Amino acid sequence: MNKESKIYFKNREDAAAQLVEVLPIGQMKLEDWIVVGASYGGYLIAKVIAEKLNAQYKIMFTEKIVAPNNEECEVAIVTESEEVVIHEEIVKSFDISLDFIFSRSKYVYDDLVLKKINKFRAGYKIQDLQNKNILIVDEGLNTGLTMMACIKTAINMGAKSVSVATPIIPDASIQIIESIADDLYYAKKLEHFIAIDYYYETLEEITFEQIKNIKDKG
């Protein structure tokens, strides 16, 4: 089967439109929501959804921790609140020590995450999530590790509820996300998942400078 037959979204704008169709927009407009992007691409989709809800939108910065000597192998995620979520199966399979993960996460946080916070919010971490309904958005889920980290961060920051919206998700990630999120919304689910960009006709790379130039209503 060729790639073309697997394309579900023309671009992020199309994905956002399809996602809006499955969200209970009418009900959500009656409630107090903040829409949070879990990635640069997710931030663009979050902006569209937030505008439909007349809600604030934000981004939560994260960085991945990779295995020693293998930059393609993601073993953990660190968020801007210093939440660390570990891919336990991979860590056990490759016998990666927790000391390595936490020492590496400290370095990544200080060297990468903090720099983004400083440039994007003048040093202020994401805030104002307490007692709010939080909708975390991404352009697609693969392992779900980044989303899990964002969910846990929102919970630890006192969110009233935490829901997830993503255009496309593998079946294997649904139960994982539903186990800690209040609600999960998606346009497409797949049993056999390849990669997020495989299902988009166009998925342009988004830079930090581009998201910095988008007006954050939060």
CA–CA dist 139, 181 (Å, integer): 17
* pLDDT tens, position by position, 89-146: 999 999 999 999 999 999 999 999 999 999 999 999 999 999 999 999 999 998 899 9
> What is the band of 69 on the pLDDT scale with cuts at 50, 70, 90?
confident
Instruction: Please compute Rg for the chain using Cα positions.
Output: 17
What pLDDT does 3 receive? 44
Sequence-ordered list of residues with C-beta below 8 angstroms from that of 188, at least 6 positions apart, any chain: 8, 167, 168, 169, 199
User: What dotted CATH number matches 3-60+128-212?
Assistant: 3.40.50.2020
> HSE of 166 in the Cβ direction (CA atoms, 13 Å)?
28
Residue 4 confidence (pLDDT) above 60 = no
Residue 2 confidence (pLDDT) above 90 = no
E-strand ranges in 16-160 read: 33-37, 56-59, 62-67, 70-79, 84-86, 133-137
Q: Per-domain residue ranges for the chain?
A: 3-60+128-212, 63-121
Residue 5 confidence (pLDDT) above 70 = no
Distances (CA, A) of 210 to 40, 51, 207: 9, 18, 5
Residue 66 confidence (pLDDT) above 50 = yes
The whole-chain average pLDDT of the chain stands at: 93
CA–CA dist 90, 167 (Å, integer): 26
What pLDDT does 150 receive? 98
> What is the band of 72 on the pLDDT scale with cuts at 50, 70, 90?
confident
What pLDDT does 51 receive? 95
Measure CA of the first residue to CA of the last residue in the chain; give whole Å. Answer: 44
